[in-house]
Amino acid sequence: MENLLKKIIFILSCLLFINMNAQIPPVAGEVEKLKLTSNPAYVILGVEPTNIERPSTPREFITGVQAGIVNGKLKPNFAMEFNPFIWASNQDTSDRDAKWFKAANYIIDHNWYQNFKKSFGFSIATSATDTTIFGSLKAGTGLSFGLKANLLSFKHGEFANRYENWLEAFVKQFFYNQFMVNLIVDNNFSFTHANIDAYAINTALLINASILVPNYLKPKLILTLNDLVKNTKKQVSKGISLSYMINELTNINATMNTEAIAIQRQKIAYAKTGFSLDFAAAGMAVFQENNFSHAVFSKMGIWLTPSYRWDMSNNINHVQSIDALGVFRYTWNDKRVDSASYLDLGMKVQYNYDKLAVSAEGVLRFATPKPLNTKSAWTYRAVANIEYTLVENITLKLTVGTNFDGNTRTYTDPKQMIGLVGLDFGLLK
């Protein structure tokens, strides 16, 4: 009879848990997808709208078209980027709660491998080439490929804090609800250490089995549960009462409601805040005179992009943040492109407000070894950029500024203006 009673209590507690699932903050529709970013394939071509970027919100597929003035010539460009890990997952995104948890999981999960897969992107781009950038190679078509991924990310912002607070309160609620269910089904129920231990085991099982709890949070919630057990046993020794239990549940429910309302009302940037370190690599071939048989693998590069994002969203109706980014890039050139390789060092500041992003960046380029007939090993790029999300997954970009002076043959020439306008289209999954 006692075992049957325990099973009934556990089942009723689980039904309470299912009911709580229905009260999870429905933030899927409120998640603000950030703009699509330049891909590494554009960067190695020399026609990128921005030279310093961190990976954007995970996308299944992105395609971009742009046209602009580069080295005094109008150049139409095309690029596409996709994430093979997302393609392979084939996850059903029709369920609202499943979508919500993917958003929360992306923002707050500390699992390195999962973050790497979600931020990974493989890109391909094409553009007309000229002799200003590509040296003695004949003009034709450039075809580039690249990849990028997030290596490190730490802090996860206000949303993560509120979600963690909600989960801690939920664990306490589930633990105390078992006492309340027992009081309902057994008029002779009394609070004992044995009951407390049994309810703690049930709660621990729930923490470890629940998809609502990211793996990295489970040890923290178990510690919360252990503290709760110790405190409850102390209260039992003092003579715990039903009114005490009701008062505790009232406070817990208030906390859960406060956090849930805040999550529901706030627009949440679908991006992590704090420090991030991203890796990218790219290479390209030039098809001289648009002839396949005259293809030359012309250059390749690798780079790191450290960045830090400050969440400035004091107003719950707007997404607002400031990014500070750097870049460290090394590019190898075929001797027919340039006798020197390039080391790029740069910084960028970007302000994000809802669908608008405004940025300014500067990148110094050092040629090594410096050719004898070149006056300086240094050149630079300085641009301003405006990006606006027209509708979800469609971003309009406008870039103006001055670009690198081609290769070391033209380092001493006047600075060439760059002007680009383009659209990016993406599919979010």
Spatial separation of the C-alpha atoms in residues 160 and 104, rounded to whole Å? 8
Could you tell me which residue, 411 or 180, shows the higher pLDDT?
180
pLDDT band at 9 (very low <50, low <70, confident <90, very high): very low
Angle between helices 2-21 and 157-185 (to 10 degrees): 150
From residue 153, alpha-carbon distances to 32, 114, 148, 368, 371 in Å are 19, 12, 14, 32, 40
pTM as predicted: 0.72
Spatial separation of the C-alpha atoms in residues 252 and 179, rounded to whole Å? 15
CB 30 within 8 A of CB 267: yes
- Two structure tokens written together for 214: 């990211």
CB 395 within 8 A of CB 368: no
For residue 377, the one-letter residue type is: A
Domain 33-83+122-155+272-427, what architecture?
Answer: Beta Barrel (2.40)
Residue in the structure block whose two tokens are 């300085």? 382
Q: Residue 334's closest CA among 54, 136, 55?
A: 136
Provide CB contacts within 8 A for 174, sequence distance 6+.
Answer: 13, 16, 17, 20, 203, 206
Q: Residue 57's closest CA among 35, 89, 31?
A: 35
Question: H helices of 186-317, where?
Answer: 193-209, 218-238, 242-265
Distance from CA of residue 120 to its chain's centroid?
10
Q: Is the dihedral of CA 39, 79, 380, 139 positive or negative?
A: positive
**With 60 as the cut, is the pLDDT of residue 286 above it?**
yes
Neighbours of 283 (CB within 10 A): 20
- Two structure tokens written together for 2: 């006692």
Residue in the structure block whose two tokens are 């970027």? 53
- Two structure tokens written together for 132: 């200003």
> pLDDT tens across 100-144, in order?
445 556 566 667 787 787 778 888 888 888 877 888 889 899 999
CB 41 within 8 A of CB 144: yes
Angle between helices 157-185 and 218-238 (to 10 degrees): 40
C-alpha R_g of the chain: 28
- Two structure tokens written together for 14: 């689980």
Q: Compute the average pLDDT of residues 276-305.
A: 93
Distance from CA of residue 159 to its chain's centroid?
14
Cis upstream peptide for 369 (omega within 30°): yes
Spatial separation of the C-alpha atoms in residues 185 and 195, rounded to whole Å? 14
* DSSP designation for 229: H
**With 90 as the cut, is the pLDDT of residue 157 above it?**
no
**With 50 as the cut, is the pLDDT of residue 23 above it?**
no
CB 80 within 8 A of CB 42: no
- Two structure tokens written together for 77: 């460009």
> pLDDT tens across 207-266, in order?
888 777 777 788 989 999 999 999 888 887 777 667 777 888 899 989 988 887 777 665
Flag the least confident range among 66-70, 87-91, 160-164, 332-336: 87-91
- Of these ranges, 342-346, 389-393, 422-426, the one predicted with the greatest mean pLDDT is 342-346
Flag the least confident range among 63-67, 113-117, 345-349: 63-67
Flag the least confident range among 251-265, 277-291, 413-427: 413-427
Task: Report the pLDDT value the prediction gives residue 179, as an integer from 0 to 100.
Answer: 81
CB 33 within 8 A of CB 57: yes
**With 90 as the cut, is the pLDDT of residue 49 above it?**
no
Coil vs helix vs strand at 312: coil
Please state the domain extents for the chain: 2-28+159-265, 33-83+122-155+272-427
Spatial separation of the C-alpha atoms in residues 324 and 306, rounded to whole Å? 9
CB 308 within 8 A of CB 147: no
Q: Is the dihedral of CA 171, 172, 173, 176 positive or negative?
A: positive
DSSP helix, strand, coil percent of the chain (3-state; round to 5): 35, 35, 25
Helices (H) and strands (E) in the chain, counts: 10, 14
Neighbours of 316 (CB within 10 A): 12
Q: How do strand 378-391 and strand 356-368 relate by DSSP bridges?
A: antiparallel
